[in-house]
Amino acid sequence: MLASWSLSAIIAGLLLAALVEAEVKPSINTTAEYSTECKTCPRSLCSNARVYERDDALSVSCWTRGTKIMGDNTWLKTDSGCYITQYDVLEYEGDYITDLAYCGRDSEEQNLTIEDAETKYKTECSICPTVSCDTVAYLAENTELELTCWTPDGLLIIDDPIWLKTTNNCYVAQKNLYSKPDITYLEPCGPIPHLEIAVHNNENGTSEVNKRDASESDVEERDTIAEPVPELADRGLMYLVNVTVGEEYAHCRKCPSLSCQTEKIYEFNQELWLQCLALGKNGTEVIESDYWSQTTDFCYVHGTDLWESLSGDFYRFPRCELFPIDGSK
């Protein structure tokens, strides 16, 4: 009797397993909730295969695990053969993990191309390759970086449109590096949509320079820090900023104060490149509306010595105080 019952239980279990297996769907139709990247692997540092814009229809055929995005590490393989985070598609009434097959252990692997680099100037690391995107990190000069891919479609900085993705999952302009990396050793980043920290924050880990915590408080703090100086008008996207000297001579000083030592003197109509904006100081007291800027010679020139207005001609001109003093830390 016991043996007969055990056999019946085994048969019932097999039938139940077969039924569950039969319920796995070959694919599920869904829609992109945000503009998002579809990647070659389910990791935020992997290159992009394509872009889905908000409300684009797509079909997903299996699930896998990858980088945690906004608290969710489930990624879905689309009908384009690339991976999209579950967070970026409309909420599904069922459960992708039970309703779709697992993509397999190989799907979780991350293969990256890596090249070392170092910043020459103060550099914003942005979530997409233009200064109109959210700033993920402010990097001081001499900050060591690891680059993972490159794009030729970034914002033109002086004469160079190439931006590179770092292991911080953000992009830096090639023009801000000491030397051009050999991009033959780096894979292309692929198409890149306009992204926002508020809905695409990566919870991949932390380090002092090129990883950041992804808690909500950190996101709020970075959003606050990344705001442009309120007095600066939206006149165009520029960084590094190109200006010309409007006085016979312009003193470039060690710090943003007329009492600071002159380190360099610029002449009338000389072309300069500015890194960041600073307010003047009288001792330790900050003087509002007294605009200075640090040039690529790492000294400060006063706004009144330039043809252009530091308080009105530039958009999202970063404040010097946001950058670490020592990029090696």
18-108 has which fold?
SH3 type barrels. (2.30.30)
CA dihedral for 232, 233, 237, 240, sign (positive or negative): negative
Q: What is the pTM of this model?
A: 0.80
Decide whether 18-108 matches 241-321 in CATH topology. Answer: yes
CATH class assigned to 241-321: mainly beta
317: which residues sit within 8 A by CB, 6+ positions away? Answer: 228, 229, 232, 238, 239, 241, 274, 276, 277, 293, 310
pLDDT at residue 12, as a whole number: 54
Q: Given this model, what pLDDT does residue 313 score?
A: 67
Q: Which parts of 67-111 fold into alpha helices (H)?
A: 96-99
Domain segments of the chain: what residues?
A: 18-108, 115-225, 241-321
Task: Show pLDDT as tens, one digit a residue, over the chain (329 residues).
Answer: 444 545 555 555 554 554 455 578 999 999 999 999 999 999 999 999 999 999 999 999 999 999 888 888 999 999 999 999 999 999 999 999 999 999 999 999 988 999 999 999 999 999 999 878 888 889 999 999 999 999 999 999 989 999 999 998 899 999 999 999 999 999 999 999 998 888 887 765 432 333 323 333 333 333 333 333 333 333 334 468 889 999 999 999 999 999 999 999 999 999 999 999 999 988 777 787 899 999 999 999 999 999 988 877 666 788 899 998 765 43
